[in-house]
């Protein structure tokens, strides 16, 4: 089977600046205060994903999941190591990413689709399906700057899921929106998985990861902490102050019709 994603000793470091203006930085230096600091979001991570695998990417907040997804998507480049992918990549890695707030939902469908590699003809052919799935109703011709976060999520996910891709990336796409929409998203993602496309699904929800994925990768402070069986990976992740039953309560409701 062909390799779909190869992450080879990938490292990504960021610089945190504590002061915004030159005056603030000068005063901080005079007082011998720290003006910046660096942190490593992804730290020497390596793994390989075969074509058609469904990967659940898990870990506590700040563990580097979103940064790793951006490296896979090509939005960012690793400072060290390499990230290789095969084929077209689509997905929703940030709510409303690629949208222009002063354009209407209609215009942003074409803009976002073009960013994801769809031609104008392809977008026109799928336009009605995208609009029907997004279900933003009369707000289709309203500037998306006036959209709620849920409407952003609906439109962004709808465009992404209709791209003919080889790899589909989903970063907490179910974190925003009502239950009927979340169920619809899970159903479409299951169709993506069953079609033989590679799926990388970032989620804290153990129940949906069990339903969607056949392998779990866990990041801890930017490092690869676990890579293997789904149930073992879920047990490896600890959520402070919450039991697994509490975490999965909504998952059970969402997955009832899948």
CATH superfamily of 3-255: P-loop containing nucleotide triphosphate hydrolases (3.40.50.300)
Dump the DSSP string for 145-208.
Answer: GG--HHHHHHHHHHHHHTS--SEEEEESTTSSS-HHHHHHHHHHHHHHHHTT-EEEEE-S-HHH
Domain coordinates in residue numbering, the chain: 3-255
**Residue range 37-78, pLDDT digits in tens:** 788 999 999 999 999 999 999 998 889 998 999 999 988 999
Q: Report how far apart, in Å, the C-alpha atoms of 24 and of each of 14, 15, 20, 188, 192 are.
A: 21, 17, 7, 50, 50
pLDDT, tens digit (0-9, with 9 covering 90-100), for 131-184: 999 888 889 999 988 888 788 888 888 898 898 889 999 886 555 567 788 888
151 conformational bin, left if phi > 0, alpha if psi -120 to 50, beta if neither:
alpha
pLDDT at 205: 84
What's this model's pTM, rounded to 2 decimal places?
0.79
Mean per-residue pLDDT for 204-210? 86
């Amino acid at each position: 089977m062909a390799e779909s994603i190869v992450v080879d000793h990938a490292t990504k470091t960021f610089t945190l600046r504590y002061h915004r203006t030159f005056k603030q930085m000068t005063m901080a230096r005079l007082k011998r205060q720290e003006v910046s600091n660096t942190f490593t979001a992804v730290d020497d991570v390596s793994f390989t994903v075969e074509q058609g695998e469904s990967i659940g990417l898990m870990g506590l907040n700040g563990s580097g999941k979103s940064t790793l997804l951006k490296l896979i998507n090509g939005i960012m480049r690793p400072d060290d190591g390499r990230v290789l992918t095969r084929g077209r990549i689509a997905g929703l890695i940030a709510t409303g990413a690629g949208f222009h707030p002063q354009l209407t939902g209609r215009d942003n469908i074409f803009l976002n689709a073009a960013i994801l590699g769809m031609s104008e003809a392809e977008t026109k052919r799928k336009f009605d399906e995208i609009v029907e799935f997004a279900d933003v109703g009369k707000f289709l011709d309203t500037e998306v700057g006036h959209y709620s976060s849920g409407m952003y999520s609906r439109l962004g996910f709808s465009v992404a899921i209709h791209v003919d891709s080889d790899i589909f990336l989903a970063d907490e796409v179910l974190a925003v929106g009502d239950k009927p929409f979340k169920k619809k998203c899970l159903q479409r993602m299951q169709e993506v998985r069953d079609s033989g496309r590679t799926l990388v699904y970032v989620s804290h929800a153990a129940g949906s990861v069990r339903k969607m994925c056949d392998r779990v990768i866990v990041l801890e402070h930017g490092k690869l902490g676990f890579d293997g069986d789904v149930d073992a990976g879920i047990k490896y992740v600890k959520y402070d102050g919450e039991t697994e039953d509490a975490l999965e309560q909504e998952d059970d409701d969402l997955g009832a019709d899948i």
